[in-house]
Amino acid sequence: MGLIRSKKELVLRFELNGQILQEISSKDIKTEITIGRSDSCTWIIPASDRSASGQHAKITSAKGGLIISDLQSRNGIFFQGSKIQERKLKLGDHIRIGDCLLVVEEPIETAEDKAEHPFHRLEQLNGVNKGNSYDLNKPIIKIGSSPDCDIVLNDALVSHFHASIECKTDNSCWIKDIGSRNGTNVNGTLLAQNLNEGGRMLRDGDIISIAYIELRYLDRFVTHVRAQLGLKIAVTIITLLVCIGGYYAYMAVSPSAKSHIEAARKAAADEDFDTARKYLVTAANARAAKAHNHERAELEQMIDNWESTIAKWEEIKGLYQSQRWISANKLLSPLLSQNMELWKWNDTNAAQAKNEAILAKRLTDAYIEARTMLESEEASLKKIEEATSMLATELENAGTTPQFLSPLMTEANDILAELTATSNDWRVTMLLLENFDTLDKLPGMQEKLTGIRETAQKRLAARKEQKNRFSPILLGVIDSAILPVTKLNKANAALELNAKSIAKLQFDKLATALPLPEVEECASHPNLADKRAQLQTLNGRLLNTAAQLKTMVETLDKRNLTPDKQPEAITQLLDNANLEKVLACDSFELKLPSRNRAKPSGTYDAILGIEIFYSFVAMLPDRFDTTILEDAPFRPAIYNARQDYIILNDFITFCNSPAVKNLMKNQDKSPLQNLAKHAEQALKRRDDFVKRLIEVSQKAEDRQAVIAGGMALLLSHNTNLIPESFTQSVVAKLKDVRKQTSDIAKKEVTPEQAIKNRRKILDVGIPGDSIVRLAWSEMYK
């Protein structure tokens, strides 16, 4: 070993559970050192130390030495079991910071100029290469089974790159695991994950275990002698044999300070603290007292703390029995947040008291949180459910509890039951809103929500009367759902009433605005706002449908196309007697009418129109040009009927749309259904009539084929009644008829024969044809 330096220089070692986190000489401290869990601290405490704060303490150089100060941490810093705010560090100090320990030691002279070896080393203690020495001669030394490593350990349990050692410029070495499969141990302790970034500082003699292979760290500034080890042992044994007799004689007549201290510990373990203090007074003047002064002072402080802990614990239990749980928790919190040494005066009833205190604290915290959430006006369902779960877990884990906790257990179970009922009511309410995907659920939702509210109101009223705790916002939560749902239900009923009014063709009874809830009233759930918007949209569409339907119904009524009226044009057209006259061209029985006539000349003219119908068939296969009707002195029945059928067909098409079909659903024998049925029947009669005309046209070979075919084509608008090539057949037969009349007109005959030919032209020709008109005019001169 080297020489001892001046006492003015100290070494500060900061460790957690025996693992060195930091070590520094007082002469190397140039700036402030902050200690805590925060990444911004100079010395970072691992996250596993939950009792440490983010900024816990600091070490500064002042007043001719080093000062440690508490930075208003949650649990404070402790010296000899007592919380301190500030202390000038001295040799031998042990300062507790969270679960970490700051130790102040005397430094050892390094004497680098006298070093026996130029590098720190690792000595292999077992395995195939037992006895090998590895120089740590690089800034980073890699250890593993890979040939690329600096120290190669050939074993299946060793990872390719298992661990690394960093040799720093201050002559310290730090080891860390670099992602091995089986981990790295130092002195039997597995390197913790939270130390992997900075690693663990090695000290002379540390044993590194990788798989089953052990390596000893040898500091190059420490002299390691093996050859004289046997001699030293022999000398030591002889010396002991010489001295041992005298030593035991001295011990028999002069008990040491250590024995008095141990006696004090035993008395303290029996909770006889007065006797323990007497032993400590004796120890102060006993043999080797100076060597044990620190231990004696520390025990003396702990006895005071233990006695205080027992007194406070009895006070706390009394508060629990008197149901003053908040006061009890305030006293209990510091007892459990400080050094747990306060609960270690023995291993029996002290341990039991500590466990009861921890149980009481956990139960109280869970109870207070649950009660707070139950009575809070800002609570959410998530927070209530979390508090319920936490309290239920603590009650379940509590098992058999001490008698002083019985009142708390009773109250906690009552709070749990009410929290459970509250969260269930809240959750069912939210679930109903969450599943509100169709408007037809509104009546059932309103009924269920009303039932939930009535049950909850009765329960809360009973708890209020019994002065038990309850949620002040539960009814408000349910009401925030009931109010918009009730209004939406009314609006939906108004929408359905509008639909019924339309089906009854009572357009004057339509409600243009629905009794919807306000937008703000639908804020408790997105589905409420969605259904409000949906009702608005549906009513808008319904009113639009009603406007179109109203126009159509008025048109049907105006044209006598309603069930209670007879349309004149269709009646004339479908009359069998009239059809026979049309096919016979009865207008030829009268003289040729003027083109400017105000009234029709014969049934043919009244039904078809002499000039108009011929213009129509002459233009085939082109589409019907409705402009030929504009200058007509009167409108023949077939064109009015054609327009009626178009209107009826448009009406039926509109009625077959999803919007109108939905209106007529479940509305048996409504005026709208009756009107639609009447329109369908009218179109059915039209279709039958057209089929009859087609049949006549196909069977006939004379002008009846053209007349019947032309009528069928006029009336078959927007239907699929016309057979393929039927139009071409009508055109061909018209050509045949015109050829016949042309051939007759071209014959050179006597005046007597001319009269007969004119009669023949009228027998085969179609009214409106120019040749026929000439013969017709000559016929009646």
Q: What is the pLDDT of residue 116?
A: 59
Task: Please give the Cα distance from 538 to 495 (Å, whole number).
Answer: 8
| Residue at token pair 């327009």 | 643
- Do 650 and 626 have their domain in common? yes
List, in order, residues 6 or more apart from 476 with CB less than 8 Å away: none
Torsion sign (Cα): 75, 78, 81, 87? negative
- Do 327 and 476 have their domain in common? no
| Blockwise average pLDDT, block size 10, the chain, 781 residues | 49 82 85 91 87 92 87 89 90 89 75 62 85 91 92 84 90 88 81 64 87 86 53 45 46 67 89 91 84 85 91 94 92 79 85 90 93 93 94 92 93 95 95 94 95 95 93 93 96 94 93 94 94 95 95 96 94 96 96 92 96 94 83 91 96 93 81 94 96 96 95 91 94 96 86 89 95 91 68
- Do 623 and 721 have their domain in common? yes
Judge whether 637 lies within some domain. yes
Tokens of 255: 């008990």
- Coil, helix or strand for 532? helix
CA 20 to centroid of chain Cα atoms: 44
- Do 628 and 699 have their domain in common? yes
Structural domain span for residue 621? 568-779
- Alpha carbon of 146 to those of 151, 432, 493: distances in Å? 9, 63, 80
Do residues 7 and 91 lie in contact, with contact meaning Cβ atoms separated by under 8 Å?
yes
20 φ/ψ angles, rounded to the nearest 5 degrees: -75, 125
Judge whether 584 lies within some domain. yes
Tokens of 107: 């430094």
Residue that finishes a domain, picked among 63, 89, 105: 105
Do residues 87 and 93 lie in contact, with contact meaning Cβ atoms separated by under 8 Å?
yes
- Do 153 and 204 have their domain in common? yes
The CA-based diameter of the chain, rounded to the nearest angstrom, is 184
**Ordered DSSP codes for 765-776:** S-TT-HHHHHHH
E strand or H helix at 186: strand 184-186
- Do 278 and 340 have their domain in common? yes
Judge whether 247 lies within some domain. no
Judge whether 353 lies within some domain. no
Do residues 594 and 671 lie in contact, with contact meaning Cβ atoms separated by under 8 Å?
no
Q: What is the pLDDT of residue 197?
A: 61
E strand or H helix at 209: strand 207-210
- Do 98 and 122 have their domain in common? no
- Do 93 and 123 have their domain in common? no
E strand or H helix at 82: strand 82-84
Judge whether 673 lies within some domain. yes
| Residue at token pair 């009228």 | 762
Judge whether 223 lies within some domain. no
Cis peptide before 621 (omega within 30 of 0): yes
Q: What is the pLDDT of residue 223?
A: 64
Residue that finishes a domain, picked among 42, 73, 105: 105
Task: Please give the Cα distance from 368 to 353 (Å, whole number).
Answer: 22
Q: What is the pLDDT of residue 233?
A: 44
CATH number of the domain within which 196 lies: 2.60.200.20
| Residue at token pair 């860390």 | 176
Task: Please give the Cα distance from 724 to 669 (Å, whole number).
Answer: 39
Residue that finishes a domain, picked among 300, 320, 346: 346
Judge whether 234 lies within some domain. no
Judge whether 16 lies within some domain. yes
- Do 442 and 527 have their domain in common? yes
0.85 exceeded by the pTM?
no
- Do 646 and 750 have their domain in common? yes
Query: Shortest CA distance to 167 belongs to which of 113, 122, 129, 106?
Result: 122
Angle between helix 526-558 and 637-655 (nearest 10):
160
Domain count, the chain: 5
- Do 514 and 594 have their domain in common? no
- Do 522 and 613 have their domain in common? no
